[in-house]
Amino acid sequence: MLLATAAPQGGGLMSFLIMFVPLILIMYFMMIRPQQKKMKQHKEMMNALEKGDEVMTTGGIIGKVAKIKDDFVVVAINEGMEIKFQKASIAQTLPKGTIKSIES
């Protein structure tokens, strides 16, 4: 009497790795790397802030940089109205003259 048994499928781990490694690479190049690049650009922008720069915060407030101290920036929104923000909350610098063009 012969027992017919199925041979174990070989290469299960190898086929898993063949599918898993490209998936990890795709995730790295589509998600992780662009995020790291964006964080680097934001850090460079924060370090390059100067008094008089026109900026927009993450909350959408637009103003001019009045003072810079360590990790904080004082933004002048209007004559006599200044708000203190953390540098990290500055979303972007705006081209010179943006505030005047919006007010008109």
- Report which secondary-structure segment, H or E, holds 27: helix 12-27
Residue 4 lies in a domain: no
Kindly state whether residues 40 and 61 are assigned to the same domain: no
Q: Residue 20: which domain range?
A: 12-48
66 pLDDT above the threshold of 90: yes
Kindly state whether residues 57 and 25 are assigned to the same domain: no
pLDDT recorded at residue 10: 55
Q: Model confidence over 10-65: pLDDT tens digits? A: 568 888 888 899 999 999 999 999 999 999 999 999 999 999 999 999 999 999 99
Confidence tier at 91 by pLDDT (50, 70, 90): very high
Kindly state whether residues 79 and 55 are assigned to the same domain: yes
Strands in 62-69's sheet, in edge-to-edge order, are 81-86, 72-78, 62-69, 54-57, 90-94
Q: How many domains are there within the chain?
A: 2
Kindly state whether residues 55 and 32 are assigned to the same domain: no
Residue 31 lies in a domain: yes
Task: State residue 2 phi and psi, 5-degree precision.
Answer: -100, 135
84 pLDDT above the threshold of 80: yes
User: What gap in Å lies between CA 89 and CA 72, rounded to an integer?
Assistant: 9
Among 87, 90, 62, residue whose Cα is nearest residue 76: 62
